[in-house]
């Protein structure tokens, strides 16, 4: 067992009931306080300034370049590799362990190091150089394929043989709390007429998990499924916003473009693979034998509960519309990374891979409005008496996620954004 994962550990920091951030979590992020960003972690409702911790010498025995904790993104820290990520996480676990008062008894140090979460502003945790989105849920791919091609042709011939993906836009990925402006573009609502231009009428969310990569191998080399965990720094919640009407008109023959690249939102805390190790679980059984480079041993899926809610402008109620789980994914993140690099493609520290929409087998576990409303045929009732086929201006979409076992809850916090009206342009 990884030292910091011990379920018996307790912290001298108060952990509220149902908190996503016990001492067994210790995620990483970038916080900002008094105008300065710094590398941070969190226990309970206290943000830990790792730059202050390093400046006071608490990381000296790790023999690392402590200046990485003063940076405005995590990329340089991620480049140090998994042994350092693990050592830092274990050190934080030791310092805040209820049985260790070395730091607790130093009131002046504690004052410099701990900041109440309400007093910080969370920032983008990494500079994302490249972003790849996958299409790895069999239930989601089957649902979408059934809608557009019929049940007999729901899955394309390649789908059971490789994790389908596409290269997306990294510059429009931003952190939770920022609004999403309704996109505009071409669409063809009437198949018997030409295209029209205007704001998307079929704006959608996609419940996904994003993976932040470590520094990969040189160009021309590949990462195997067995090695993949060493090159995956951690996970975030990922809302891959989609304009279904823009996407439906543009995607043939090269796939998604303007219907996807206007916005994606992530949660601010990156939960490490080490913290999630106790929640490994078998992935769905492969329906066909895959090629050797996609085969793997052991459990490579994760049991992470996921939920999506919508809050309208007419009510403070949060309408839960989706409850799903990451363990439903047919293609694992290790298979996705192995496939991504099998042709020699290199990855860099801080790159983003996203799972694709995570859907389960029951209607309440579908991870997008496209599926939940079945292309608008089954509107979802809201608590204010309205209904939703797709998202409306003023709606706030919130996603949460956590894994729980042996009394330990490892959570992600939330990813949340309000939808703003399309901007007015003269076209």
Note whether 74 and 126 are within 8 A (CB): yes
CB 136 within 8 A of CB 336: yes
Residues facing residue 42 across a β-bridge: 47
Give the distance from CA 63 to its chain's centroid: 31
Among 184, 232, 254, 238, which residue's Cα sits nearest to residue 206?
Answer: 238
Return the half-sphere exposure (C-beta side, CA atoms, 13 A cut-off) of residue 249.
21
CA distances to 78, 335, 402 from 232, in Å: 10, 12, 19
* Locus of tokens 């106790």: 278
Residue 316's Cβ-count burial label (10 Å; 0-12, 13-18, 19+) is exposed
User: Catalytic residues, which ones?
Assistant: 140
Dihedral over alpha carbons 92, 94, 99, 102 (to 10 degrees):
-80
Sign of CA dihedral 220, 355, 122, 78: negative
């Amino acid at each position: 067992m990884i030292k910091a994962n011990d379920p018996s550990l307790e912290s001298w920091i108060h952990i509220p009931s149902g908190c996503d951030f016990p001492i067994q979590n210790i995620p990483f992020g970038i916080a900002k306080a008094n105008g300065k960003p710094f590398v941070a972690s969190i226990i309970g409702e206290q943000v830990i300034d790792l730059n202050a911790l390093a400046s006071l010498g608490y990381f000296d025995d790790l023999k690392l370049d402590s200046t990485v904790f003063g940076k405005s993104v995590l990329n340089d820290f991620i480049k140090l590799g998994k042994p350092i990520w693990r050592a830092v996480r274990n050190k934080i676990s030791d310092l805040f362990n209820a049985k260790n008062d070395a730091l607790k008894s130093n009131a002046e140090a504690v004052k410099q190091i701990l900041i109440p979460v309400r007093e910080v502003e969370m920032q983008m945790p990494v500079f994302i150089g490249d972003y790849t989105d996958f299409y790895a849920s069999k239930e989601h791919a089957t649902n979408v394929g059934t809608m557009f091609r019929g049940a007999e042709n729901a899955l394309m011939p390649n789908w059971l043989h490789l994790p389908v993906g596409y290269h997306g836009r990294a510059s429009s990925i931003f952190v939770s709390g920022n609004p999403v402006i309704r996109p505009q573009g071409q669409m063809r609502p009437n198949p018997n007429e030409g295209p029209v231009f205007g704001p998307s009428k079929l704006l959608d969310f996609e419940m996904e998990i994003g993976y932040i990569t470590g520094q990969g191998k040189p160009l021309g080399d590949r990462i195997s499924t067995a090695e993949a965990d060493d090159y995956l720094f951690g996970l975030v919640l990922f809302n891959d916003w989609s304009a279904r009407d823009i996407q439906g008109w543009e995607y043939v023959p090269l796939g998604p473009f303007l219907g996807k690249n206007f916005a994606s939102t992530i949660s601010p805390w990156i939960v490490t693979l080490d913290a999630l190790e106790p929640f490994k679980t078998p992935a769905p059984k492969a329906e066909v034998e895959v090629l050797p480079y996609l085969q793997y041993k052991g459990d490579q899926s994760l049991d992470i509960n996921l939920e999506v809610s919508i809050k309208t402008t007419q009510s403070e109620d949060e309408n839960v519309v989706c409850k799903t789980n990451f363990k439903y994914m047919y293609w694992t993140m290790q298979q996705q990374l192995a496939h991504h690099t099998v042709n020699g493609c290199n990855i860099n520290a801080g790159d983003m891979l996203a799972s694709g929409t995570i859907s389960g087998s029951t209607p309440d576990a579908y991870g997008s409005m496209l599926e939940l409303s079945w292309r608008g045929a089954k509107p979802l009732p809201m608590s204010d008496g309205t209904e939703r086929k797709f998202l409306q201006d003023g709606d706030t979409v919130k996603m949460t996620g956590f894994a729980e076992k042996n009394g330990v809850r490892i959570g992600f916090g939330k990813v949340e954004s309000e939808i703003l009206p399309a901007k007015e342009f003269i076209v």
